[in-house]
Amino acid sequence: MAALKLVMMTVLAASFLILVSFSSSSLAADNSSLTTPVSPKNLCKTIPDPSYCKSVLQPYNQTGNVYYYGRVSVRKSLSQARKFSALIEKYLRNRSKLSVTAVRALEDCQLLAGLNMDFLVSSFETVNKTSRVLSNLKAEDVQTLLSAILTNQQTCLDGIQATASSWSVKNGISVPLANDTKLYSVSLALFTKGWVPKQKKVTTWTPRGKQLGFRNGRLPLRMSEKTRAVYEAVSQRKLLQAAAATGGDNEVVVKDIVTVNQNGSGDFMTITDAVNAAPNNSLAIDGYFLIYVSAGVYEEYVSIPKNKKYLMMIGDGINQTILTGNRSVVDGWTTFNSATLAVVAPGFVGVNMTIRNTAGAIKHQAVALRNGADLSTFYSCSFEAYQDTLYTHSLRQFYRDCDIYGTVDFIFGNAAVVFQNCTLYPRLPMANQFNAITAQGRTDPNQNTGISIHNCTIRAADDLASSNVTFKTYLGRPWKEYSRTVYMQSYIDDVVDPAGWREWNGDFALSTLYYAEYNNSGPGSGTGNRVTWPGYHVIGNATDVGNFTVFNFLLGDDWLPQTGVPFSSGLL
C-alpha cells in the first residue's frame, strides 16, 4: 500500500512539473513580444482611441514596452482620480447654492470617485510588481476593477446629465469626466494587452452541474450559546436545505450572528442597525457576519457600504421577509440612489428575501436592488419593481433561484453577472410602453462585463398575462455601445416578441453589441424571425457559449463554494 502511494505521489509530482513547465513556456511565449520596446504610436494602434492614447504616452518614453506604458497609464489614472475626487468635494462644499437633485448627483459621484481611487491603488500594486502575463485569477481581479472604474465614470456622468439643473455643474464635471474616462480606457486596454493571458478562459470544458451548499456549517470555537442556538435554527430551517441534502463537503464559515426582529425580541429592530454593527473590513477567511432578518415588512433604505465586507443576510423567505421603499427619478432621486437596497461591500450574500420598490410604473426609474459588490450572490430572493428593477451595476455577481419582476430595462447595468435557474417576469407597463428584460451597459470593448441568463424561465407576470391590451416584450436593448447579453438553455414563453431584441435609438450599437441565444426552448425561443443586426448571433457551438458559464465568465468555482449557494459550473 505504501509503495502504491509512493508511485501515485511520483506520478502526480511529474504531472505537476509537466503542467508548470507547459504553463511557464506558454507565459514565456506570451511575454516575449510584450517585453520588446515599442513606440507609443505603434502601441496605440490597437487601443480604442489611438490618438488620445498616443497623446498620453508620447511625453514619457520612446523605447518603453507594454509594461512600462501600462504602469505609466495606471499611475496617471490614479493621479487624475484624486484630482477629480477633490473637484467633487469642492462642489459639495457649496451645496447650499445647488439644487437638491444636483447635490444628489454629486454625492453619487463622490462615492464612485472614492471607489475608483481604491480600485486604482489595488491595480497599480499589481502592475507595479510584475512585467509578465498574470494567472487567470489575478488577471481577472484587476481587469474587473479597471472595468468597474469605467462603469463608475459613466454612472457619474449619467447622473450629472440627467438631474443636475445647474449648467455650471454639468459643464464643470462633464469635461474632466470625459477626459478621465479616455485615460482609464487606455489603462484597461494596456492591462489587457500586457497582463491578461491570451487564452484567459477555458472554453471547452462543460462540467456536470454541481450543487454546493451548507453541510454542518463550521463555527469558531468561541461562540455564545445564544448565537449557536440561532445559527442552528436558521441553518436547519432556512439555509439551502436542498443544497445541503446533496452531501457536498463545502462548509460555510460563520463568524458571528445577529438577529433582526421588529417586535424587539432580536438584537436589533432594523436591518440598518444590524449592518452598522457588522465588523469592518473582514476577510473571507474570517467567515461571514450573518444577519438573520425575521419575517416582516421593513420600510427602510439599506446600504451595505464598502467596509462591511463578507456580510450574509438571510430572511424567512420570499414574501415573508420584505424590504421595501419607493424612491424614484420622478421624485428627484438619481437612478443610482433610488435603490431600496444598495450593496457595495465585496462578498455579500443575500438569501430568502423580497426586495421591492413600490414607486410604480408612473414614476419611471425606481430601483429595488443596486448591486456594485464584487463576488456577491443572491439566492432564493425576489426583486420587484417596474422600470429599472435590478441594477447589476458593476463587478462580479451571481443570482440563483431568484424571481425578477419589471417592465422597461428591468435588469440593467454593467456587471459581469450570471442568472441561473431564475424566473424573469415582464409586468404590465404603462400605455404606449414596451417591456425590455435587459439593458446591458458595456461601454468599452475591453471590459469583461455582460449579462448571462442560464437555465432561466421567461414568462408573463399575472397582470400582463391577464391584460386585454397587447404589449410587446423584448429580450433586451443596447443601453451602451458594447452591450453584451446571452440567453442560453432557458425557457422563453410566447410573451417575447418574435424579433427578440429592440433598438435603443436608430442604428446605435447594432454593429458593436454582442447579443446571442443558445439552445433555448419554449414558444418564444424560435430564432427564425429574430433581428438581423451585425452584433446578433445564434450560437450553435457549445465551446463558444461556454465563455458565458459560471466557470468561465465569473471563474465562479474559485469563490462561489464558500457562499453555500448551489450553482452549475457549466452547461447543463
Contact yes or no for 191/127 (Cβ under 8 A): yes
Q: Phi, psi at residue 296, to the nearest 5°? A: 155, 170
Amino acid at 137: L
C-alpha dist (Å) from residue 121 to 23, 79, 114, 117, 375? 29, 10, 11, 6, 19
Cβ neighbours around 399 below 10 Å, total = 28
CA 562 to CA 398: how far, in whole Å? 13
Distance (Å, rounded) from C-alpha 455 to C-alpha 493? Answer: 13
Distances in Å between the alpha carbon of 320 and those of 17, 259, 382, 418, 421? 54, 15, 11, 25, 21
The three cell numbers of residue 18 are: 509537466
How many Å apart are CA 489 and CA 197, to the nearest integer? Answer: 29
Between CA 315 and CA 355 the distance in angstroms is 11
The residues, ordered by sequence, that sit 6+ positions from 299 with a Cβ below 8 Å of its Cβ are 324, 325
158 has catalytic annotation? no
Among the options 141, 401, 409, 497, which is catalytic?
409
Question: What is residue 551's three-state secondary structure?
Answer: helix
100 contact partners, CB below 8 Å, separation of at least 6: 332
Q: Is 495:525 a contact under the CB 8 Å cutoff?
A: no
Measured in residues, the chain has a length of: 572
DSSP 317: -
Q: Provide the annotated active-site residues.
A: 409
